[in-house]
């Protein structure tokens, strides 16, 4: 029986624009046209017969009403603090449009977000680091046998990512100059190593890890043991040795990568390292 992992929620505290949050949290495929079945289903779930109101909000043509705000908060399972933050982002947009001073609202947002990692990343930057297949497709492009064909990439990646996701990922990476077009129009990787800064949204990191761990779970059932290596050990570690242990893992990953990465390789592999607590302090 295949194990399941609960997908981490997208946090509104990772966004400075509530529309980016709504699109990412409510429409993972990014579709918000009149023909999107996902959008029509979402609108009905919010209690609206037509999707036109929601489309206008997502396109920036209007702001959510008080009733819409409540419906969205309930549908996306926001807690009280998240709902207040969502409302403040809406107020902030209105104040800026009217050329009024946003200082008070910004102060309130800062207090609510005091324990969160603040960021100015937009939707596309967020997607670049949160969806596992961006990194995988980027690496695949550098392999000798690569063919720029969405159906070929779909099959090459064992049908774990859809052709539309592939097309979207290539478009975003070209826009963000992770990729470029060569003299013959071929795709060229500009940034071999994508290193995230310290202010990357925590929920984006969780989503990326979620995607990669799910691929590992699938490999247990779908791949021959000769093509994978999954080992585990349960140990006792002192609190004062924890930082040193984590550094050892980090150093090992870098050394492993340097030793075995090859530009001539035609197959992609993923190595995940999981290191976490089994126990919790119990007070009698």
For 217-236, the pLDDT digits (tens) are 999 999 998 999 988 889 99
CA angle centred on 188, ends 183 and 191, rounded to 5°: 135
Residue 111 and residue 121 in contact, taking contact as beta carbons nearer than 8 Å: no
Q: Is 7 inside a domain boundary? A: no
Rounded CA-CA distance 229/220 in Å is 9
Could you tell me if 33 and 45 lie in one domain? yes
* Structural domain count of the chain: 2
In a domain, 11, yes or no: no
Q: Looking at residue 199, what is its pLDDT?
A: 44
Give the CA angle between residues 1, 163, 230 to the nearest 5°. Answer: 35
Q: What is the pLDDT of residue 120?
A: 44
Asked if residue 33 and residue 78 are part of one domain, the reply reads yes
The last residue of one of the domains, among 91, 117, 143, is: 117
Alpha helices (H) along 113-227: 123-130, 132-141, 150-156, 163-175, 202-222
Query: How many angstroms separate the CA atoms of 18 and 75, rounded?
Result: 15
Question: Using an 8 Å Cβ cutoff, are 39 and 32 in contact?
Answer: yes
Burial label for 205, CB within 10 Å (0-12, 13-18, 19+), is: middle
Residues 83, 108 share a domain: yes
CA–CA separation, 284 vs 282, rounded Å? 6
Point out the domain boundary residue: 117, 135, 168: 117
Q: Quick one: 106 and 130 in the same domain? A: no
Instruction: Check whether residue 55 and residue 190 sit in a common domain.
Output: no
- Answer with the one of 70, 95, 117 that is the final residue of a domain: 117
Q: Within a domain: residue 222? A: yes
Burial (CB < 10 A; 0-12, 13-18, 19+), residue 178, is: buried
58 lies in the same domain as 96: yes
What's the rounded Cα separation, in Å, for the pair 130 and 127?
5
Domain encompassing residue 90: 17-117
pLDDT of residue 118: 44
Cα dihedral 209, 215, 221, 224 sign: negative
Q: Which residues contact 168 (CB under 8 A, 6 or more apart)?
A: 30
Looking at residue 273, what is its pLDDT? 86
What digits encode the pLDDT tens for the residues 172-186? 889 888 899 999 999
Radius of gyration from C-alpha coordinates of the chain = 22
Q: Which parts of the chain have pLDDT scores under 50?
A: 1, 31-34, 117-121, 196-200
């Amino acid at each position: 029986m295949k194990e399941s992992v609960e997908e981490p929620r997208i946090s509104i505290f990772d966004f400075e624009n509530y529309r980016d949050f709504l699109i990412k949290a409510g429409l993972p495929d990014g579709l918000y046209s009149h023909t999107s079945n996902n959008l029509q289903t979402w609108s009905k779930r919010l209690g609206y017969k037509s999707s036109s109101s929601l489309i206008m909000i997502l396109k920036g043509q209007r702001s959510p009403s008080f009733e819409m705000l409540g419906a969205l908060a309930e549908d996306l399972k926001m807690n009280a603090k998240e709902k207040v933050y969502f409302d403040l982002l809406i107020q902030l947009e209105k104040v800026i449009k009217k050329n009024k001073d946003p200082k008070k609202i910004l102060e309130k947002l800062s207090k609510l977000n005091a324990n969160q990692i603040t960021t100015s990343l937009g939707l596309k930057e967020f997607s670049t680091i949160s969806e596992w297949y961006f990194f995988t497709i980027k690496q695949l492009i550098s392999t000798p046998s690569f063919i720029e064909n969405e159906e070929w990439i779909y099959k090459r990646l064992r049908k774990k990512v859809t052709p539309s996701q592939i097309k979207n990922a290539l478009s975003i990476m070209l826009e963000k100059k992770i990729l470029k077009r060569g003299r013959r129009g071929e795709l060229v990787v500009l940034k071999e190593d994508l290193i995230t800064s310290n202010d990357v949204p925590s929920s984006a990191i969780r989503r990326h890890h979620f995607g990669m761990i799910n691929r590992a779970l699938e490999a247990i059932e779908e791949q021959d043991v000769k093509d994978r290596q999954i080992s585990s050990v349960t140990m006792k570690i002192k609190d004062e040795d924890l930082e040193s242990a984590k550094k050892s893992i980090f150093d090992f990953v870098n050394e492993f990568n340097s030793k075995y990465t090859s530009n001539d390789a035609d197959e992609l592999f993923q190595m995940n390292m999981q290191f976490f607590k089994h126990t919790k302090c119990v007070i009698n």
